[in-house]
Amino acid sequence: MMFTWYNFDWFAWVSIVLWASGAGVALFCKERSRWAILLTSLGTLVFAVFIVGFWIYMQRPPLRTMGETRLWYSFFMGVSGLLTYIRWKYPWILCFSTVVGAVFAMINILKPEIHDQTLMPALQSPWFIPHVTVYMFSYSVLGCAFILACMGLIKHRADYLEATDKLVYTGLTFLTVGMLTGSIWAKAAWGHYWSWDPKETWAAATWAGYLLYVHLRLFRKRSLRSLYGILIVSFLALQMCWYGVNYLPAARQSIHMYSRS
Amino acid sequence: MFILLLLLSVVIQGVFGNFPFAFFAFPLDALIALLWIAGMVYAYKEMPTSRFVQCWLTPQCTYWTLGWFIAGCLVIGLFPQLSAAEASERSGLLSRLGCYHFTTSWIFVMGLFALLTHLGMITLRRGFRPGRNRWRFVLNHAGLWLALFAGVVGSAEEQTLRIPVFRDTPNNEAISEQGTKVYLSKELQLNDFVVDHYPNGVPRHFFAEISIDGKPARLEVNHPYAANWAEDYYLTSYDVQSEQPRYCVVQIVREPLKYIMWAGIVMMLCGGCLLFLAGPNEPKKALSETSC
C-alpha cells in the first residue's frame, strides 16, 4: 500500500474515531478505564503507521513543512494525552487531547498541501529529526499543561498544579533539548549558535515563560490565577513560535522559512 | 534596585544611543569579564550578608531578570529588527529606545548583565552547598551562564564576512556585515563545484572544492571547514545561472568564544536530562524577600 498524502484522510478519520471513542469511555468511567487506554492507543498507532509509511514513501522524514509538523503534533497529542490520563486519571483529559489532535489533523485534511520529496541541503542534517520531533513532543506535553491550566482557572482549583508541574518539567526539558540541538545545528549550518531570528526569539520568550512558572512554583509564590495565567500565556507564545511568527512582518527576514505552507 | 537599574538603562539608551559593542573589543572585553567574575566571587565570599549581595540572591531577582528577558524577547519578536545603519535612520521614541535594533540596546544589554550577575551569584551559592539536585542546578545555571556570557562578551570579537570565490581568479576581498570591505591575508579560489538535482530541478546536494592559499578545503552545507579554532568557512550560495557554477559565496565566521558557548550548551543538555529524570523539586517554604 502506498502511504501518500491522498490517503491520509482514511488514517486520520480512523484515528479520530478511535480517540473519540476512548475519550467517551474515559468520560463515563469513574476509575481509569482499560478500554479508554486501548482505544486511544489504537488511534495513536494508526496515526503512527501513516507517519512511518509516509516517511518511507517520501524517502525523507516528513518534518519539513507546517503540514508535516502538524502530523507529528496530532500524533504526540495522542501520546501525551494518554500518558497524562494513565498517570493522573483525569477523565476529561482525553476529550481535550482528542479535540486538539483532531483539529490539527482536520487542518491537514481540509487544506491539503503538496508534499514533494525534496529536502533542501540545509535540512539534510543528523540534527533535523531529533530537533523537530523533540520540539513537537514538548509542544504536545505543554498543550496538556495548557488544558489543565484552563480547567484550573475556570474551576479555581489548586489540585491541578501537581500535574501541571510534572508536565511543565517534562515539556520544558524537551523544549530545552530542542532549542539546544537547534543551536548546535545552526552553528554548523549558518555559522552562529544564536542569531535572534524571529523564530529563535519567540522560542526564547516561550522558554523563559515556562522557566518563570517553574521558579514561581519553587518559591510558592503568586496566586493560582497568576500561575495558570503564565502557563496560558506561555502556551500562546509557543503558538507564535510554531506558526504565528510566519504572519509577522519580521518573518520575511527569517532564516527558518523553509516552506510557508 | 531593579527599577533603578531599568530606569538607568533607559536614560543611558536615550542619551548615548545603542551599546557600542565594537568599543569593547579585545583586550577590554576580557579585562571587564575578569573584573566582573572576580567581583562576583569576592562579593559572595567576603560580603555574603551585605544587602547588595543578598539582593542578587533573592527569588525577587529571579522574577525581575526573567521578566526583563521576556520583555526584551517580545520587543525583538514584535518589532522588525533592522541593521544598525537602517535603525539609526529611524526617528521617534521607539527608535530612541533602540526597539529596531534591540539586541544592542542598553535596555536589553543591561537586562542580560543583570541576568548573568544573578545566575553567577546563585551558581556560586548552590555550588558550595551539598544537597539534593546540586548538580542539576549547577549544570543548568552555570551552563546558561556560560552560553550567555560567550554570547554577550563574544559579540565584540565576533566577525562575519562574505566573500565570492571565483573559478578564474583568486580573491581576498570580503565584505563585512556592515558592508565594509575587508582584505583577507589569504586568497581563495574555486577549484570544483558539484551540484546534484532532484527531478524537478531543486538542488538535492552540492559542495565546493576551494583552495585557501593553495591549501585544499571542501565546503558543504552543514559541514563547514574549520580553518583554525576560532574561524570557520561556510558555503552559503553559488552561481545558479551557469550549468557549471563559475563562483560560490563563502561566509567566514570568526568566533573566539565558540567553544565556551558549546560547553555551556552541553552542560545545559546534561542539566536538562537531569531535570526530566528527577522531576519537580519540593516547593520551598516561602522565602523572605528583601525589598531591593
Do A47 and A101 lie in one domain? The reply is: yes
Residue A227, classed as helix, strand or coil, is helix
Verdict on whether the full-model pTM lies above 0.90: no
Do B30 and B175 lie in one domain? The reply is: no
**B158 chain-A contacts, CB cut-off 8 A:** 192
Under 8 Å between Cβ of A198 and A245: yes
pLDDT digits (tens, 9 = 90+) for B196-242: 988 888 888 899 999 999 899 999 999 999 999 889 999 999 998 88
Question: Edge-to-edge strand order for the sheet containing B225-226?
Answer: B215-220, B203-212, B181-197, B171-176, B159-166, B247-254, B231-238, B225-226
Q: Is B128 inside any structural domain? A: yes
Do A140 and A253 lie in one domain? The reply is: yes
pLDDT digits (tens, 9 = 90+) for A84-114: 899 878 888 899 899 989 998 999 888 877 6
Q: What is the structure's pLDDT at A7? A: 87
Q: Is B136 inside any structural domain? A: yes
Contact B103 A196 (CB under 8 A): yes
Do A137 and A95 lie in one domain? The reply is: no
pLDDT band at B163 (very low <50, low <70, confident <90, very high): very high
Do A97 and A139 lie in one domain? The reply is: no
Closest C-alpha to B248, from B167, B161, B160: B167
Q: What is the structure's pLDDT at A184? A: 95
Q: How far is A18 from chain B (nearest CA, A)?
A: 30
Do A52 and A137 lie in one domain? The reply is: no
Name the DSSP letter for residue B290.
Answer: -
Closest C-alpha to A215, from B49, B65, B271, B2: B65
Under 8 Å between Cβ of A261 and A115: no
Identify the residue whose cell numbers are 498543550. Answer: A143
Q: Is B287 inside any structural domain? A: no
Q: Is A119 inside any structural domain? A: no
Is the pLDDT at B291 greater than 60, yes or no?
Answer: no
Q: Is B285 inside any structural domain? A: no
Higher pLDDT, B291 or A138: A138
The last residue of one of the domains, among A77, A112, A147, is A112
Do B223 and B262 lie in one domain? The reply is: no
Do B147 and B168 lie in one domain? The reply is: no
Q: How far is B230 from chain A (nearest CA, A)?
A: 11
Is the pLDDT at B145 greater than 60, yes or no?
Answer: yes
Question: Is some CB atom of chain A closer than 8 A to the CB atom of B223?
Answer: yes
Is the pLDDT at B182 greater than 90, yes or no?
Answer: yes
Name the DSSP letter for residue A222.
Answer: S
Do B262 and B176 lie in one domain? The reply is: no
- Phi and psi, residue A193, nearest 5°: -65, -35
Determine the Cα–Cα distance for residues B84 and B99; give it in Å rounded to an integer: 11
Question: Is some CB atom of chain A closer than 8 A to the CB atom of B255?
Answer: yes
The pLDDT tens digits along chain A (261 residues) read 678 888 899 999 999 999 999 999 998 887 888 999 999 999 999 999 999 999 999 888 888 888 888 899 899 999 988 988 998 788 888 998 999 899 989 998 888 776 777 888 888 888 888 898 889 889 989 998 999 999 999 999 988 998 899 889 989 999 999 999 999 999 999 999 999 999 999 999 999 999 999 999 988 767 899 999 999 999 999 999 988 988 887 766 677 766 544
Residue A135, classed as helix, strand or coil, is helix
Q: Is B89 inside any structural domain? A: yes
Contact A240 B77 (CB under 8 A): yes
Closest C-alpha to A130, from A180, A76, A165: A180
Determine the Cα–Cα distance for residues B25 and B49; give it in Å rounded to an integer: 35
Of B276, B277, B284, B287, which to mutate for an interface test with A (greatest number of A Cβ within 10 Å)? B276
Do A132 and A254 lie in one domain? The reply is: yes
Tally the domains of chain B: 2
Contact B222 A122 (CB under 8 A): yes
Q: Is B220 inside any structural domain? A: yes
Q: Is B70 inside any structural domain? A: yes
CA A48, chain centre distance (Å)? 15
Question: Is some CB atom of chain B closer than 8 A to the CB atom of A258?
Answer: no
Closest C-alpha to B65, from A208, A231, A224: A208
Contact B198 A192 (CB under 8 A): no
Q: Which domain holds residue A49?
A: 1-112
Grid coordinates representing B96 are 530612541
Q: Is B286 inside any structural domain? A: no
Q: What is the ipTM of this complex?
A: 0.91
Grid coordinates representing A77 are 497529542
B108-118: average pLDDT:
95
Determine the Cα–Cα distance for residues B129 and B124; give it in Å rounded to an integer: 9
Closest C-alpha to B289, from B1, B46, B7: B1
CB count within 10 Å of CB B181 equals 9
Under 8 Å between Cβ of B2 and B61: yes
B76-82: average pLDDT:
89
Closest C-alpha to B255, from B157, B182, B174: B157
With residue A255 as reference, give the H or E element that holds it: none
Do A179 and A242 lie in one domain? The reply is: yes
Determine the Cα–Cα distance for residues A141 and A167; give it in Å rounded to an integer: 6
Do A131 and A106 lie in one domain? The reply is: no
Question: Is some CB atom of chain B closer than 8 A to the CB atom of A198?
Answer: yes
Do B82 and B164 lie in one domain? The reply is: no
Q: How far is A24 from chain B (nearest CA, A)?
A: 31
Q: Is A117 inside any structural domain? A: no
Do A5 and A100 lie in one domain? The reply is: yes
Q: What is the structure's pLDDT at B288? A: 45
> For B279, left (φ over 0), alpha (ψ -120 to 50), or beta?
left
Contact B63 A187 (CB under 8 A): no
Residue B269 C-beta-side C-alpha neighbours within 13 Å: 16
CB count within 10 Å of CB A257 equals 14
Contact B222 A125 (CB under 8 A): yes
**B265 chain-A contacts, CB cut-off 8 A:** 180, 183-184, 193
Do A131 and A104 lie in one domain? The reply is: no
Name B173's bridge partners: B183
Closest C-alpha to A37, from A22, A53, A58: A22
Q: Is A225 inside any structural domain? A: yes
Under 8 Å between Cβ of A142 and A209: no
Contact B70 A215 (CB under 8 A): no
Closest C-alpha to B110, from B3, B15, B264: B3
CA A128, chain centre distance (Å)? 16
B93-110: average pLDDT:
91
**At a CB cut-off of 8 Å and minimum separation 6, what does A204 contact?**
A179, B69, B73
Grid coordinates representing B32 are 571587564
Question: Is some CB atom of chain B closer than 8 A to the CB atom of A121?
Answer: yes
Do A130 and A249 lie in one domain? The reply is: yes
Identify the residue whose cell numbers are 505543554. Answer: A142
The last residue of one of the domains, among A75, A92, A112, is A112
Do B127 and B269 lie in one domain? The reply is: yes
Residue B224, classed as helix, strand or coil, is coil
Average pLDDT of chain B, as a whole number: 89
Do B94 and B168 lie in one domain? The reply is: no
Is the pLDDT at B292 greater than 70, yes or no?
Answer: no
CB count within 10 Å of CB B45 equals 11
Do B167 and B136 lie in one domain? The reply is: no
B25-42: average pLDDT:
87
Closest C-alpha to A36, from A82, A88, A97, A100: A82
Do A47 and A163 lie in one domain? The reply is: no
DSSP B117-177: HHHHHHHHHHHTS--TTHHHHHHHHHHHHHHHHHHHHHTTT-EEEEEEEESSS-EEEEEET
Do B122 and B8 lie in one domain? The reply is: yes
Under 8 Å between Cβ of B181 and B175: yes
Residue A119, classed as helix, strand or coil, is coil
Q: Which domain holds residue B142?
A: 2-157+257-278
Tally the domains of chain A: 2
Do B111 and B197 lie in one domain? The reply is: no
Share of chain B above pLDDT 90, in %: 56
Do B95 and B207 lie in one domain? The reply is: no
Do B142 and B248 lie in one domain? The reply is: no
